Amino acid sequence: MDTSKNPIGLFDSGIGGTSIWKEVHRLLPNEDTIYLADSKNAPYGLRPKQEIIDLSFKNTKFLLERGCKIIVVACNTATTNAIKELRANFNVPFIGIEPAIKPAAIHTKTNAVGILATKGTLSSELFNQTVSGFTGVNVIEQVGHGLVELIEGGKLESTEMQILLEEYLNPMIEANIDYLVLGCSHYPYLAPQMRKILPESVTIIDSGKPVAKQTKKVLQSMDLLNTDLHEVYNTFYTNADAHVLQSIIGTKFTAEHIDF
């Protein structure tokens, strides 16, 4: 069966994965997409591995019931804890997102790299395997306690956010990092605030663009790119307050509440 005209499905524990969706949409504007924000269950980062797997299965089934031809796991926590199980249980290609430690570790000149991610990502086997490949580099790991909750609560530019960011980034600045890896798909929305705290010499990197490129590559290799000229549909679902998702995707698109 030709599924090339079917949508790309993306899910995250909440609204953060829209940072990945934006890159996918930019690179593949002719593709329909369905984005699923499981905000009711955010944050995933504090949950045990099995719960993250169960929620990832539930999200995947939701997207497959709507015909998605490929699933982008737009969440580092879900990828690092559940991608193996997802690939073993569903007959559809999965694209995962992992913290961009590799480019940071390769390009650092100060030999110090900061990573901000959830507890679930930093404690995962997959992440620790990746980091163990760069023993010569000082990797400063910091759990972004509270950041996802503030973003999901629509408090991106709050004083609370500023205080937390300073607390997490100042020790990294003292350790002389020249790369900050954003290991959670929510965090690119914090880049403007981070930029004000970090010295200019620090480069902030996230995984949005590489994930979009990989999605295109996989679709191409499986002959699944949508080459039909058609009206493109980008659908956004959330099981929490649609206003927060709406504020982040802008007025060109519509966020819909759905119970799941």
Site string for ligand DGL, 176-205 (x = CB under 6 A): --------xxx-------------------
Sole binder of ligand DGL in the list 75, 115, 150, 177 (CB under 6 A): 75
Distance CA 62, CA 259 (A): 11
Please name which of 27, 35, 26, 41 lies closest in space to residue 7, comparing C-alpha atoms.
Answer: 35
| Least gap, CB of 140 to ligand DGL (angstroms) | 18
Compare residues 9 and 45 and give the one whose CB is closer to ligand DGL: 45
Part in contact with ligand DGL (CB under 6 A); list of ranges 39-47, 125-133, 173-181, 192-200: 39-47
Contacts of 50 (CB under 8 A, 6+ apart): none
| Least gap, CB of 73 to ligand DGL (angstroms) | 9
By CB under 6 A, tell whether 23 contacts ligand DGL.
Answer: no
Q: Which of 70, 75, 122, 172 is catalytic?
A: 75
Please name which of 162, 119, 154 lies closest in space to residue 243, comparing C-alpha atoms.
Answer: 154
Please state the φ and ψ torsions of residue 90, each to the nearest 5 degrees: -125, 135
| Long-range pairs for 156-164: beta carbons < 8 A, 24 or more residues apart | 156/189, 156/190, 156/193, 157/193, 161/190, 161/193, 162/193
Longest C-alpha distance within the chain, in Å?
A: 56
By CB under 6 A, tell whether 45 contacts ligand DGL.
Answer: yes
Part in contact with ligand DGL (CB under 6 A); list of ranges 9-17, 102-110, 165-173, 190-198: 9-17
Active site residue 75: yes
Compare residues 7 and 43 and give the one whose CB is closer to ligand DGL: 43
Sole binder of ligand DGL in the list 10, 36, 42, 63 (CB under 6 A): 42
Distance CA 28, CA 226 (A): 9
Sole binder of ligand DGL in the list 43, 96, 114, 188 (CB under 6 A): 43
In this structure, are strands 8-12 and 179-183 parallel, antiparallel, or unpaired? Answer: unpaired
Please name which of 76, 82, 75 lies closest in space to residue 48, comparing C-alpha atoms.
Answer: 82
Q: Which helix (H) or strand (E) holds 22?
A: helix 18-27
Sole binder of ligand DGL in the list 118, 215, 226, 238 (CB under 6 A): 118
Site string for ligand DGL, 141-160 (x = CB under 6 A): -------x------------
Q: Which of 115, 184, 202, 244 is catalytic?
A: 184
The footprint of ligand DGL (CB under 6 A) covers 12-14, 16, 42-45, 75-77, 118, 121, 148, 184-186
Catalytic positions, please?
A: 75, 184
